[in-house]
Chains A and B, each alone.
Chain A
Amino acid sequence: MMSMHAMEQHQHAHSLCTVRTGNDVFGIQSSAVREALHQCKPRRVPLAPAFVAGVLSYRGEILLAISLRALLGLDPRSDGSSAVVLEDSESGESFALLLDELLDVVEVDDTAWEPNPAMLDERRSAVYRGIYRTPGAPLVLLEPRDVQPTWLMRHQGTALLSGARA
């Protein structure tokens, strides 16, 4: 499913905000990141699907905090207190993505991009948008719209919700 679209969007070098969750390092387009938060403790929402870590207050808005760990099938209880506030350009919806660690801003070149490896599990291939070769660890491209709450609710909500309720 990746993505002539992504290719077209980033034709040349562009900057990615890199973060770590679990063993993987992710890159999110810097322009989509509104702010990086360091000390955030989301308020849990009862009965919410597992990927919802809770809600948090950001500049007077109530944002939904999505747990990337839960999306990747890792234990959400060890969620870190770092997050990035993302804005989905299509729906205009802002939300926070909870991560293990905030890293750096790096420049990448599109020629270094490769599609997801074929044997990637289903959960991950729904979120990973291909991988950049870098001198160090490979960098996974993450698009805000793939982790956007309304989208997740529609595509994963039912399955995860029943899990959470049980």
Chain B
Amino acid sequence: MPRPPATDREGVDDLTREFLLESNDGLDSMERGLNGLQGGADNAACISEIFRAVHTMKGNVGFLGFARLEQLAHAGEALLARLRDGALPVSSELIDLMMQLADRLRRILQLIEERGHEGRRDIDDDNPLIAVLKRAASGGAAAAVADDPADGLREALISGDKGRHAVESIVRVDVETLNRLMNLVGELVQTRNQFLQSEICAETFAQLGRRLDSVTANLRESVMQARMQPVGQLFQRFPRLARDVAASCGKRVKLELAGGETGLDKSLLEALKDPIAHAVRNAIDHGIELPQVRFPMGKPAEGRIELCAFHEGGQIVVEVKDDGAGIDCVKVVRCAVERGLLPVERALGMSDAEVMELLFEPGFSTSDEVTMISGRGVGMDVVRANVERIGGSVELLSVRGEGTTVRMRVPLTMAILPALIAHCGGQTFAVPHSALQEMVLVRKRDEERLVQAIGNTKVMRLRDRLIPLIDLGELLALDSNRPQGYYVAVLEAKGRQFGLIVDDVTEPQEIVVKPLSSALQSLNMFCGATILGDGQIALILDASGLARNGRIGEVAEATVQNHQHRIAIVPPVPPKTGEPMLVFADRAMQLAAVPLVCVERIERITSMQVEQLGGAPVLQYRGGLVSLEDAGGLMREAKHTREPWLVLICRRPGDTRKSVGLVVRDVLDVADGELLAGSTSLGEPVARIGKNIAVMYTGFVVPGGVVAAQDFLFQEAA
């Protein structure tokens, strides 16, 4: 993104720089106040905040000799004083006027920073604005000045910047934090002196060591805190931007902020500013519909944009989520073809995800005309480039008619996060809490009951679910010895749950994330390293990388892709369905399968446990009755043996109350299956699983597709 050249920055003396910093802060609080007024917050408090800001600026500017600023601030102050005293009512015209004043002041500050003077061009004439301010103060019409109402806005939009250069290299630190740092340093010096004076075998030596330890820990923490800034600081700048952009598009938008307390390193914060501004602009211009369009659709006339930040999977995620129209894939493809960015033959059969990728192409725009806000073809590609520069990534998620989410992930270099310390094969690892859902201790004697092998995958029963397991020791080729049992950390990555087997865990710690050399990034297993309290280095595990390497993610991704519908400009293709199936043998020479989501548990029972009820076999199971289905006639065949049978406790889609037990010969595998069009002579559906064909049990398949996990409970039984 082009930035105004920082010419003679050195020409600005310290005093002026100080003034710029302070004034920019003042304008921030002025905008906060104005946003508050707009949103109907406590008027008196907001007005006095704005008044204070303008008043301080006027006071400071006096001895620096910036005439323009002084005159503007003076006129503004006069108007604000009337508002504060209640002599004038707050109106939206006045708020607009005040915003205009704030813009003008900020632009002048920017000029001062760049050029060292306030600007001497013809368009730098403040008299019209001052005149309106004066008129408004005396109760006259407060119509906004006609000169260049959008000039400041346009500059801000194009550069995505509001004269913040002086601030970028400066971290504001709470005086209290600074005092604490100073105290700690004092204590450090004192401890050192005592060390120097004491003999190595002195009695106090151990005590001094402990003191040094605690001082260092405190010092480290305080310095860290000084570097970390809440994301909220950055977020506060956007309600104003949203308001301005919305006004110029004739839309009504409310920007909601969440997760502002998430700590992020100062440098990352600055780097995220432009991408977020871009995403917010896009959301308003392209996403949110005009009020007259929204209303008939049953949406509130006022569009909602949510700007939120949170930790996830060892990264910080910043989302800009709107409730607008969503992305029209057909239109995107058409535009791309028209603009020659995409050959027609490639356009056929693109998936949604591929279409979304088009939006990241340089020069792509769906806007029919170039507006002030967007359509210049500088868009998502810039956002992506900016975020990738700091080692992050950008995703676009969109549901037609419901909205679009721009999700930016940034590494949390320098970030602090709580993590569990796990041990495996004599090495220490950190598992970020954000990915961790629960811990399960598997004792040796319980192992057989809790953990089973299906094909070459291990699964664990966790309450009513089966979750796949990854053995960290095996994955990382470590020697692990677990005579007593082990722990399973239940993790979630990319929406999939899986268990990670580790030897042992110790207490959770707040860890400081250090980047690993880029040479190790291709391993895709670790997202950083940290130095533990005892000086040991622990590698931080990357849950999604583990899932990928442990082949958990593959299944999930394949499923997602297969579920995606194809876009509508191609001739209708039969929907591709695929999902994990539990493959088993029920009679000789035939494979059978049920969708994995339907399987609750796998039980081993003996013939003694089977009872008859109304001529049908049933099983007493967890305080209820489960009717047994024996399609392969296994029970008859093995009636008199003491061999246990395998029973899959399943639930038919749509039937939430009753479980059935399928008696099977052997459980073979879990693999992705695809439903075929044909059926067996008995009318049973057939699925292709890998190279094999398996019979699907009736009742587990809905005509036209396999059940998806989320609508499993609501689907009508076939």
Contacts and interface: CB of A to CB of B under 8 A. Distances in A.
Interface of A: 43-49, 52, 55-57, 60-64, 93, 95, 149-150, 152-153, 157, 165
23 contacts: A43-B427, A44-B427, A45-B520, A45-B523, A46-B525, A46-B539, A47-B523, A55-B520, A55-B529, A55-B539, A60-B514, A60-B531, A62-B515, A62-B531, A62-B537, A64-B516, A64-B519, A64-B520, A93-B517, A95-B517, A149-B519, A150-B519, A157-B519
Given A43-B539, A62-B529, 11 more contacts: A45-B520, A45-B523, A46-B427, A46-B539, A47-B476, A55-B516, A55-B517, A64-B520, A149-B517, A152-B519, A153-B522
A78 B52 CA distance: 69
A47 B514 CA distance: 19
A57 B537 contact: yes
Rank and list the top 9 A-B pairs by shortest CB-CB distance, nearest first: A46-B476, A149-B519, A64-B517, A153-B519, A43-B537, A62-B514, A62-B529, A57-B531, A149-B517
Interface string B513-541: 01111111011011011010001110100
B247 interface: no
Nearest to A148: B519
Contacts of A61: 514
A56 B537 contact: yes
Nearest to A56: B537
Nearest to B516: A62
B530 to A, nearest CB: 8
Interface residues of B, number: 22
A86 to B, nearest CB: 13
Q: Which of B518, B519, B531 has the most chain A CB atoms inside 10 A of its CB?
A: B519
A61 B531 CA distance: 9
Nearest to B532: A57
Contacts of A93: 517-518
A161 to B, nearest CB: 8
Interface in B461-483: 476-478
A150 B683 CA distance: 60
Contacts of B516: 55, 62, 64
Given A45-B539, A57-B531, A62-B537, A150 B523 contact: no
Q: Which of A44, A57, A60 has the most chain B CB atoms inside 10 A of its CB?
A: A57
A55 B528 CA distance: 11
Contacts of B427: 43-44, 46
Interface in B527-569: 528-529, 531, 535-537, 539
B332 to A, nearest CB: 36
A149 B523 CA distance: 14
Contacts of B528: 62
Contacts of B477: 46-47, 165
A16 B520 CA distance: 30
Contacts of B523: 45, 47-48
A52 B535 contact: no
Contacts of A43: 427, 536-537, 539
A63 B517 CA distance: 7
Given A56-B537, A57-B531, A48 B518 contact: no
Contact of A47 (B515, B518, B525, B535): B525
A157 B477 CA distance: 19
A123 B653 CA distance: 62
Dominant SS among interface residues on chain B = mixed
Contact of B478 (A46, A153, A165): A46
Nearest to B523: A47
A60 B224 CA distance: 12
A156 to B, nearest CB: 11
Given A46-B477, A56-B537, A62-B529, A150 B522 contact: no
Given A64-B519, A149-B517, A153-B522, A55 B537 contact: yes
Contacts of A55: 516-517, 520, 529, 537, 539
Nearest to B473: A46
Contacts of A152: 519
Contacts of A45: 520, 523, 526, 539
Nearest to A151: B519
B265 to A, nearest CB: 14
A52 to B, nearest CB: 7
Contacts of B517: 55, 62-64, 93, 95, 149-150
B520 A48 contact: yes
A150 B476 CA distance: 22
A46 B478 CA distance: 7
A149 B528 CA distance: 16
Contacts of A60: 514, 531
A142 B516 CA distance: 24
Contacts of A64: 516-517, 519-520
Contacts of B525: 46-47
Contacts of A157: 519, 522
Contacts of B514: 60-62
A165 B531 CA distance: 26
Contacts of B526: 45
A47 to B, nearest CB: 6
A49 B516 CA distance: 14
B541 to A, nearest CB: 11
Contact of A52 (B476, B520, B529, B536): B520
Nearest to A43: B537
A157 B522 CA distance: 10
Q: Which of A46, A55, A64, A93 has the most chain B CB atoms inside 10 A of its CB?
A: A46
Contacts of A56: 537
A93 B516 CA distance: 11
A49 B523 CA distance: 9
A26 to B, nearest CB: 21
B695 to A, nearest CB: 39
Q: Which of B516, B517, B523, B536 has the most chain A CB atoms inside 10 A of its CB?
A: B517
Contacts of A52: 519-520
Nearest to B537: A43
A52 B522 CA distance: 13
A48 B477 CA distance: 11
A122 B514 CA distance: 35
A149 B516 CA distance: 11
A43 B516 CA distance: 13
A60 B514 CA distance: 8
A165 to B, nearest CB: 8
A114 to B, nearest CB: 32
A47 B515 CA distance: 18
Interface string B241-265: 0000000000000000000000000
A47 B525 CA distance: 9
B224 to A, nearest CB: 11
A63 B537 CA distance: 11
A63 B519 CA distance: 11
B529 to A, nearest CB: 5
A162 to B, nearest CB: 12
Interface string B219-233: 000000000000000
B477 to A, nearest CB: 6
A62 B536 CA distance: 11
Contacts of A150: 517-519
